[in-house]
Structure 1
Amino acid sequence: MQHSDFHRCFLHVVNLVCQAVIKAITNIDYSQRDAPEFALNHDPVAHVRSLVRVCRASSLRRQYFAKVVTTLKQMNLQLLHDVDTWWSSTLLMIECALMLREAIDKFIQHEDFAELKQYHLSHADWTALEYFKGILEIPHAFQHKLAAEQIPTICNTIPAFEALMRCWCQHKELHPLTALIVDQGLTKLSEYHQHALRVNAYMLAISK
């Protein structure tokens, strides 16, 4: 197996781990349990996704949203839609929505688009999206760093596993409301970490 194959393996693992986290994020049972102040009666990520879809499906809506963004001097940004096969796109969609929060609120309130009021995001929804963004930013940073390396090395793989786990544990300590969600990623990441430790090639690569 070539060195680059180990990095592709790690990036694939990150994808699988993040899919587990996203599944937990979109499961409102995790946000309702043991955290009443963080309780949601719907999935805010799905709300954003639906809002983006209906906005982009109409040229009239797109034009008005662009006008709102320009009026608010938000650099002519547009809403982004995520895709199932690219977990980072969910992070980017959330980041973009948070940046355009003011424009989204104004857009939904427009009298010509009364049908969009069903996609209203409450303060709790926006707070949850901020938390979700913080969770997903951590693996995104590791993925970006490893993917950008010109000469991948096997010896970075296990340290990357462990560093990612440490960062998520720190996030969980700082934001205990997200513990049930982060634990889904940590559990799966730990499984792959233990598997990597049993691969002789990794041990030879990191030994002195």
Structure 2
Amino acid sequence: MHELEILLEARDINFDALDNCIMCFPHIINIASQHVIKDFTNISLADPKHEFTSTYPLNHPERCRYEALRARDAVALGRDIVRVLRASGQRRDDFNTIIRLGNENDWFHGEPVRLPHLQLLRDVRTWWDSVYYMIRRLRELRPAIDHYLSSPAQKDLASYKLSDTEWQAMLDCEVILTVSTYQTIQRLQPHLPTSL
């Protein structure tokens, strides 16, 4: 920092090595990504302290208001899907069974699709690109998620099924976050272990 101060003083730029700091590129990307995520989602809805527990009857106005609010927030809905499907070992096992049987019996739409046997990823507040990885995993496993949430055995979870519009909103966020994730990886690649 002292050398930078000398270089900047030579160009008549005031800089105090003790009083100023320079953020690293990943930190700047983190800040920019948090702003993008904030514009796409209501972070307070994803806060576990404010997690909604359905104590209201289905047609209660407060429950309807909450669900309407959630419907506009596709990233928060994605977080909810991950939370609900990972809530118990039984649900995780059932979801893995859907992936396995769906692959074996060609249940998934379009050309024969083979889904990887992966777990859904939680968003981690301190890991800025975890939203990107969570959304990407949701997209990869969408056929199994839709099948699981539409299953008669999971009728209590049917309200978590995303509409095509909600999926698209979440995927739009993924596209934007792809840029920042790519930039960070490109900048850090020389410093990363070769196994990545």
TM-score (structure 2 length as normaliser): 0.64
Q: Distance in 1 between matches of 2:90 and 2:136?
A: 24
Q: Distance in 1 between matches of 2:122 and 2:74?
A: 14
Residue in 1 that maps onto 2:16 = none
Residue in 1 that maps onto 2:31 = 16
- Native 8 Å contact 2:71 2:166 kept in 1: no
Residue in 1 that maps onto 2:120 = 79
1:10: how far off? 1.4
Residue in 2 that maps onto 1:88 = 129
TM-score (structure 1 length as normaliser): 0.61
Superposed structure 1 runs of 4+ greater than 3 Å apart: none
Q: Which amino acid is the alignment partner of residue 190 of structure 2?
A: E
Q: Distance in 2 between matches of 1:16 and 1:67?
A: 39
Q: Which amino acid is the alignment partner of residue 145 of structure 1?
A: Q
Q: Distance in 2 between matches of 1:65 and 1:79?
A: 10
Task: Work out whether 1:105 is the aligned partner of 2:135.
Answer: no
Structure with the largest fraction of helix: 1
SS at match of 2:186: helix
Q: Distance in 2 between matches of 1:109 and 1:89?
A: 27
Residue in 2 that maps onto 1:144 = 185
Residue by residue over 1:54-74, the C-alpha shift from the partner in whole angstroms, topping out at 9 and shown as x without a partner, is: 211211111110011112331
Residue in 1 that maps onto 2:76 = 46
Residue in 2 that maps onto 1:130 = 171
The alignment of Structure 1 onto Structure 2 pairs a total of residues equal to 137
The structure having more radius of gyration, on CA atoms, is 2
Q: Distance in 2 between matches of 1:12 and 1:24?
A: 19
Task: Work out whether 1:58 is the aligned partner of 2:88.
Answer: yes
1:16: how far off? 0.7
Which one has more relative contact order, counting CA pairs under 8 Å at least 6 apart? 1
Give the percent of matched residue pairs that are identical in Structure 1 and Structure 2: 36
Residue by residue over 1:127-177, the C-alpha shift from the partner in whole angstroms, topping out at 9 and shown as x without a partner, is: 1122111100001001011112249xxxxxxxxxxxxxxxxxxxxxxxxxx
Q: Note the residue ranges of structure 2 that are not aligned, 5 or more in a row.
A: 3-20, 43-69, 104-114
* Aligned residues: CA RMSD: 2.3
1:46: how far off? 0.8
- Native 8 Å contact 2:71 2:77 kept in 1: no
- Native 8 Å contact 2:74 2:166 kept in 1: yes
Q: In structure 2, do the counterparts of structure 1 residues 50 and 41 end up closer, same or farther at CA, with 3 Å as the change threshold?
A: closer
